[in-house]
Amino acid sequence: MSDVEIVLMHQGGWDEALMLLGPLAIIAALIYTARKKRPPDGEEWEDDWEEEDWEKQADD
């Protein structure tokens, strides 16, 4: 057996731990990023866009 195969064999559960912790770390990073970008509680989103001229005319 090669050294790589020996390392990839069952080594006391560390490989299973990585299979669990890897996706959890990705999900945690996504949640952290999403919460960091949201406005604080009680504040509304600031809209960066305005109605276009054709949209204003359609309302008339």
**b/e per residue 13-42 (b: at least 16 CB within 10 A):** eeeeeeeeeeeeeeeeeeeeeeeeeeeeee
CA 27 to chain CA centroid, nearest Å: 6
pLDDT tens digits for 3-15?
Answer: 777 766 666 777 7
d(CA 19, CA 6): 18
What pLDDT is attached to residue 30? Answer: 95
pTM of the model: 0.48
8 A C-beta contact, residue 15 and residue 8: yes
What residues contact residue 30 under an 8 Å CB cut-off, 6+ apart?
Answer: none
pLDDT tens digits for 9-59?
Answer: 666 777 788 889 999 999 999 999 998 877 677 666 666 566 666 666 666
